[in-house]
Amino acid sequence: MEAQPTGKRRRIVLLGGPGSGKGTAAAWLAKKLAVPHLSTGDMLRAEIAAGSDLGREAAASTASGRLVSDDLVLRLVAAHLGKDAAPGFVFDGFPRTVAQAESLDRLLHERASRLDLVLHLDVPLAAVEERIVGRLGCPSCGRVYHATRMPPKKDGVCDVCGAALQKRKDDNLEVLRERWKVYGEWGPRLVAYYRRHGGFAEMDADVTAEELYAKVWEATTA
Ligand SMILES: [Zn+2]
């Protein structure tokens, strides 16, 4: 294994709109740093599956159609941070509000810790839409292409198995736009909040996955 730089940051929050690549970048980075990837959605599902007190509470509120409260999310996060927030973490999908960001600062402060890095993966909705609109899949072997970003060698034909490529059905633009509307209500405020703090970095995330990983790693080791 390659020598790891010593200046790595290990307490990290990733911000970015739907389709920015935040989730996959967070999973990649957490693995590379050997720290937990903390997604509140995954944590909630795990607690519900385990039937813990928190899980039962979360299940009750989602069953009644309510959103899981800030308070419950924070207790979940506190439980996963442990007593000392070591050896680090990569948060993805949390915090979602400035109030949650302030609470996270407080939770870390209580553990004599703090965030090392907040990374904003900046990509405009139009770019995410373009990615989705051009996406093609092979119904036979499952390989994914893109009309302009990753075209097959022969138009409309899978490089691997020769089957006719299809537009992917699961890529719903309306769902994406709705999720961006929701993100627009809290994302920019959080970016503004963290911009005022130290350890904020921003990057153009309208790049390939490999390029994004390289940029994320550069910011983590800067
Ligand atoms: Zn194929």
CA atoms within 13 A on the CB side of 68: 22
Instruction: Specify the pLDDT at position 170.
Output: 58
Per-residue pLDDT tens digits for 21-69: 899 999 999 999 999 999 888 888 889 999 999 899 888 887 776 777 8
Q: Where residue 76 sits, what CATH number does that domain have?
A: 3.40.50.300
CB 135 within 8 A of CB 167: yes
Instruction: Specify the pLDDT at position 164.
Output: 96
Sequence-ordered list of residues with C-beta below 8 angstroms from that of 51, at least 6 positions apart, any chain? none
Is 135 annotated as catalytic? yes
Is 8 annotated as catalytic? no
Instruction: Specify the pLDDT at position 176.
Output: 87
Per the domain annotation, does 150 fall within a domain?
Answer: no
Is 168 annotated as catalytic? yes
Please indicate, yes or no, whether the overall pTM of this predicted structure exceeds 0.75.
yes
Per the domain annotation, does 165 fall within a domain?
Answer: no
Per the domain annotation, does 30 fall within a domain?
Answer: yes
Per the domain annotation, does 26 fall within a domain?
Answer: yes
How many structural domains compose the chain?
A: 1
Per the domain annotation, does 149 fall within a domain?
Answer: no
Per the domain annotation, does 156 fall within a domain?
Answer: no
Options 135, 143, 167, 215, the catalytic residue: 135
Per the domain annotation, does 3 fall within a domain?
Answer: no
Q: Minimal CA–CA distance to 92: which of 180, 149, 47, 28? A: 28
Per the domain annotation, does 145 fall within a domain?
Answer: no
CB 220 within 8 A of CB 9: yes
* Residue 77 belongs to domain spanning: 11-125+173-221
156, two tokens? 């409309």
Report the separation in Å between the CA atom of 151 and the middle of ligand 1, taken as the mean of its atom positions. Answer: 13
Report the separation in Å between the CA atom of 144 and the middle of ligand 1, taken as the mean of its atom positions. Answer: 9
Give every residue of the chain whose pLDDT is below 50, as ranges: 1-5
